[in-house]
Chains A and B, each alone.
Chain A
Amino acid sequence: MNIIVCVKQTPDTAATLAVVDGKASWGNAPLVLNPWDEYAVEQALVTKEAEGGQVTALCLGPETAEEALKQALAMGCDEAVLIQDPAFESADSLVASRVLAAAIKKLESVDLAFFGKAAVDTDLGVTGPQVARRLGWPSLNLVAAISELDATAKTITVERLLEEGRQVVSGPLPAVVSVVKEINEPRYPSFMGIRKASKAEIPRWSAADIGLDGEIHPALTWPEILVPEKGGDEVEFIEGGDPAEIAGKLADRLIEEKVI
Chain B
Amino acid sequence: MDFGLTAEHEMAQKMVRDFAQKEVAPSIREWDQKQEMAPEILPRMAELGILGICLPVRYGGQGMDFISLGLACEELEAVDSTLRVIMSVHVGLSALTLLQWGTDAQKEQFLIPLAKGEKIGCGAFTEPGMGSDVANIQTTAKKDGSDYVLNGEKMWISLASKADYALLTARTDFEPERPSDALSSFVIDLKSKGVTTGDIKGKLGVRAGSTGWISLQDVRVPSDSLVGEEGEGFKITMSGFDSGRYTVAAGATGLIRACLEASVAYANERKAFGRSIADHQLVQAKIAQMAQDYEIGKLLYFKAGWQKNAGERNTFETSMAKQFATNASFNAASEAIAVHGGYGYSDEYPVERYLRNSRGAMIYEGTNEIHSLIQAGYALGTRKDRPLRLEMPGYDANFWQSEQS
Q: For residue B146, which residues in chain A have a CB less than 8 angstroms away from its CB?
A: none
The number of residue pairs between A and B whose CB atoms lie closer than 8 Å in the complex comes to: 42
Near A by CB (< 8 A), chain B positions 11-41 give: 11-12, 14-15, 18-19
The residue of chain A having its C-beta at the shortest distance from the C-beta of B13 within the complex is A194
List residues of chain B with CB within 8 A of the CB of A71. Answer: 11, 14
For B7, what are the chain A residues with a Cβ–Cβ distance below 8 Å?
Answer: 67, 70, 197-198
Would you give the shortest CB distance from B202 to chain A, in whole angstroms? 35
What DSSP secondary structure best describes chain B's contact surface? Answer: helix
Chain A residues with Cβ below 8 Å from B48 are 188, 190
- A191's contact among B6, B18, B62, by CB below 8 Å, is which? B62
Q: State the majority secondary structure of interface residues on A.
A: helix
Residues in chain B near residue A70, CB distance under 8 A:
7, 11
Say whether, besides A67-B7, A188-B48, A195 and B63 are in contact (CB < 8 Å). yes
A189 touches B62 (CB 8 A): no
> Contact at B63–A192, with CB atoms within 8 Å?
yes
Asked if B85 CB lies within 8 Å of chain A CBs, one says: no
- Asked if B15 and A198 make an inter-chain contact with CB atoms under 8 angstroms apart, the answer reads no
- The 8 A CB mask of A90-125 against B (1 = contact, 0 = none) is 000000000000000000000000000000000000
* A37 to B7 CA separation, bound complex (whole angstroms): 20
Query: Which residues of chain B have C-beta atoms less than 8 A from A191's C-beta?
Result: 12, 15, 49, 53, 62-64
Contact of A194 among B11, B19, B57 (CB under 8 A): B11
Q: Which residues of A (174-194) have their CB < 8 Å from a CB of B?
A: 188-192, 194
B residues within 8 A CB of A194? 8, 11-12, 15, 64
Identify which of B11, B49, B63, B64 contacts A197 (C-beta below 8 A).
B11
User: Does A74 belong to the interface (CB within 8 Å)?
Assistant: yes
B309 CB contacts on chain A under 8 angstroms: none
Count residues of A near B (Cβ-Cβ below 8 Å). 13
CA separation between A30 and B17, bound complex, in Å?
A: 14
Residue of A nearest to B401 (CB): A195
Question: How long is the Cα–Cα vector from A101 to B194 in the complex, in angstroms?
Answer: 68
Nearest CB in chain B: distance from A103 CB, A = 23
Report chain A residues within 8 Å CB of B49. 190-192
Nearest residue, chain B, Cβ from A71: B11
A9 CB → nearest B CB, Å? 14
Residues of B contacting A198 with CB < 8 Å?
Answer: 6-8, 11
Task: Collect the chain A residues with CB atoms within 8 Å of residue B53's CB.
Answer: 191
CB distance from B68 to the nearest CB of A (A): 8
- Within 8 Å CB of A197, what residues of B? 7, 11
Chain A positions within 8 Å of B18 at CB level: 188
Contacts of A189 in B (CB 8 A): 11, 15
Q: Which residues of A contact B6 (CB under 8 A)?
A: 198
A77 → chain B closest CB, angstroms: 14
> Would you call B11 and A74 a contact (CB within 8 A)?
yes
Contact of B64 among A67, A188, A195 (CB under 8 A): A195
Q: Hey, what's the 0/1 contact readout for A25-49 against B, CB within 8 Å counting as 1?
A: 0000000000000000000000000
Give Cα A195 to B167, complex, Å. Answer: 30
B118 CB to nearest A CB, Å: 16
**A192 — which chain B residues lie within 8 A by C-beta?**
49, 57, 62-63
> A188 — which chain B residues lie within 8 A by C-beta?
15, 18-19, 48
Q: Name the interface residues of A64-84: CB closer than 8 Å to any CB of B.
A: 67, 70-71, 74
Compute how far the CA of A198 lies from the CA of B8 in the bound complex, rounded to whole angstroms. 5
Residues of A within 8 A of B62 (CB): 191-192, 195
Query: Bound state CA distance, A74 and B18, in angstroms?
Result: 14
Residue among A190, A191, A194 having the largest count of chain B Cβ atoms under 10 Å: A191
12 A-B contacts, Cβ less than 8 Å apart? A67-B7, A70-B7, A188-B15, A191-B15, A191-B62, A192-B49, A192-B62, A194-B15, A195-B63, A195-B64, A197-B11, A198-B8
